[in-house]
Amino acid sequence: MGLVRFQKRRIGEALLPKESPASANCPRHVVIVMDGMKSFTTAPLEWALENLISTGCTVTLIGVMPWLNIPLSGKIWSDVWPVEWEALANLQESEWRSDVKYLKLQAVIDLCKKYGVVPQKDLVMGYPPKLLVVEKITSLHATWVVFDRHQRKNREFYAERIPCNMVMMNQNGEGDMFRGRSCMSDCEGSTPGESPASFVPTPEVLISEELRKILRQKP
């Protein structure tokens, strides 16, 4: 398959298969994988909301990290990953406005509400972390995966194993895209009981310059 030509529309819409009505019924689930050891930022989520996600989709934020010793774990537990959504809902406004991690969570909720999507959050901790990430993505039946720029070192590993379309964020806040097995294949071609991880996709690299042109277009 050659270069995908984009029109003036969302990237996710441009890459979705149109040849089968069944593809329209595939659940849209975008997973955003972030380095849980780094300070949380909404930048990958904002990119996904602007370029991939449609109203009614589900978006899951995943923080990934190895097992930590006590000093490091104290630092991580002060960020957003271990905090449940319900904890924010149970706080008074004066309480969460004085805590950075709650402000970050509220920013996520506000962004998702603005775009009409359902936010979820999970923490993947263990070894090897990149393999655990693949297992989590497969179990979530993701249709798109967005990796933050800290995951680029594992780019080839993920490209060989993840059975859906992927985006790797770069230093400029743009995305380099890879096309794996489509949502249509997952919905129509999988054998009952067979894990999507058993299929090794041949990723198609989409020219980054084409993507940059789309990102620079203003509505």
Question: What is the residue-wise DSSP string for the chain?
Answer: --PPPP-SS-HHHHHS--S-GGGGGS--EEEEEEETTSPP-SHHHHHHHHHT--TT-EEEEEEEE----HHHHHHHTTSSTT--HHHHHTS-HHHHTT-HHHHHHHHHHHHHHHHT-EEEEEEEESSSHHHHHHHHHHHHT-SEEEE-GGGGGGHHHHHHH--SEEEEE-TTS-EEEEE-S-HHHHHHTPPTT--GGGS----EEPPHHHHHHHHH---
Q: What pLDDT score was predicted for residue 216?
A: 53
Please give the model's pTM, rounded to 2 decimal places: 0.69
Q: What pLDDT score was predicted for residue 77?
A: 57
**Which domains, from first to last, does the chain contain?**
23-188+198-213 (3.40.50)
Going residue by residue through the chain (219 aa), what tens digit of pLDDT does each one get? 333 333 334 555 544 444 334 344 444 899 999 998 898 999 999 999 998 877 788 999 999 988 866 545 555 556 788 777 776 677 666 666 677 888 888 899 999 999 999 899 999 989 899 999 999 999 999 989 999 999 988 888 898 888 888 999 988 888 888 765 444 344 444 444 444 343 333 334 343 444 445 445 544
Q: What pLDDT score was predicted for residue 179?
A: 64
Q: What pLDDT score was predicted for residue 5?
A: 30
Q: What pLDDT score was predicted for residue 96?
A: 65
Q: What pLDDT score was predicted for residue 81?
A: 84
